Every structure is written in C-alpha cells, then in structure tokens.
Amino acid sequence: MSVRVERGDVWTVTLDRPDRANALSAALVEALHGVLDEATTAPPEALVLRGNARHFAAGFDLGGLDTETDASLASRFLRIGLLLERLVAAPYPTVAVAEGAAVGAGADLVLACDHRLVDPSVTLRFPGSAFGVALGTVRRAEMGPDLTTGVPAALPDVLRAPHPPRPPHDSDAELAALARSVAVPGLRDRIAAYRATLTKENA
C-alpha cells in the first residue's frame, strides 16, 4: 500500500512510501485519486494529508526513468495536475501537515490544501522549472510568498476552525500551462539531465 487511510468524521491520509521518501509514483497518485473518488460518495468533515517526520513527499518519483517515454511521463504529470485541482475544489476542508521535506509535486500537494501546517524547519522547494514542467505555477502566484500557516501541533485548532473561503483559482489555466509544458518534445531527456545533476550533487 502506498497510502494509509484512517476514516472517521475526519479522514487522515498518510503517504506511505518511506523507502522512496514518499515520492509520487504513478501508483501512489492513483491511490490518492481513489481516496478522493471514495470521498465523493461519502464526504468526510475534513481530510488531512500527511507524510512522515522525515519526508512529506519528495516530489515526482524519478525511479524507473529509463523505461519511461515522453508520453508516459506527460500522462503522469497530468494525473498529478488533476489530483491537485481535485484537492483545490474539494467540498470539504483539506489540511496538509508537513513535518519533513516537501519537494516539487509534494510541495504542490501542500499548496493545494486549504490549510498548510508546515514545521518551521521545512522548506518547500519547486524544481520543476529545471526540466521545464509548469506544475502548480499558477497556484503559487495566487498564493503569494506566505506558504506557512502553522505547525503540525496546531492541527486540532485548525479542524475546529470555520472553513476559510477559497481564493479565486483558474483550474483551466493551471492545467493548460501544465499540458503545454509536458507536450514539448524531449521531456524524458530533460528529466534525465536533471536527475544527473542531482546525482553529481550527492556524489
């Protein structure tokens, strides 16, 4: 299982790939879509999304890149983009609790939630521009620079608080920007080049 779900009045959805720093594999993304599908028919009072103490989510899973194609990678990014928009539009409050690293698509998951409880030691990083993928760029402009609204210990207070009004958001513009970026030929090669720079940095 790539996610664990505790159901009750409030659902707690825990990303559970500790061996891969909760990186967003295709299976994990589809598991999250499945949770949102279930919540469509039986909406919770709120949905809490969290990782573990070391990693909220390490972003797009770069494992198995050699077997991917431009088309398969584009499809995976679009599924992530759709997941983010479903979180933004959810009819119940959503809360991201980030105690560990939140990178790329993982950081975008944090921003897609109504409340973002981020430990002061956590920095949200968005490396997608390094390989030309415009994931979450419209939302980040709308949210502005203040990305931290609290710490994980504040979760009970957040769940008791009135649901805040959502700011205007252009879902079509978000997905269109993403689709244009992943349609540029050479996506796999750009991501492979980015992965190579990470390997050198960590050598």
User: Which amino acid, one-letter code, is at 29?
Assistant: V
**What whole-number distance in Å separates Cα of residue 169 and Cα of residue 161?**
22
Name which CATH class applies to 3-202.
alpha beta
Residue 1: C-alpha distances to residues 23, 25, 29, 167, 190 (Å): 14, 12, 12, 34, 30
Amino acid 149: pLDDT: 55
The predicted-structure confidence for 48-90, as pLDDT tens digits, reads as follows 999 999 999 999 999 999 999 999 999 999 999 999 999 999 9
Sign of CA dihedral 152, 154, 156, 157: negative
What is the token pair recorded at 137? 């760029």
What is the token pair recorded at 124? 């949200």
Amino acid 146: pLDDT: 47
Give this prediction's pTM: 0.91
CB neighbour burial string for 71-93, b if at least 16 within 10 angstroms, e if fewer: eebbebbbbbbbbbbbbbebeeb
SS3 call for 48:
strand
The predicted-structure confidence for 112-134, as pLDDT tens digits, reads as follows 998 889 888 887 888 888 899 99
**What whole-number distance in Å separates Cα of residue 61 and Cα of residue 12?**
23
The predicted-structure confidence for 172-185, as pLDDT tens digits, reads as follows 889 999 999 999 99
- Domain range annotation of the chain: 3-202
Q: Which of 62, 81, 87 is nearest to 183 (CA)?
A: 81
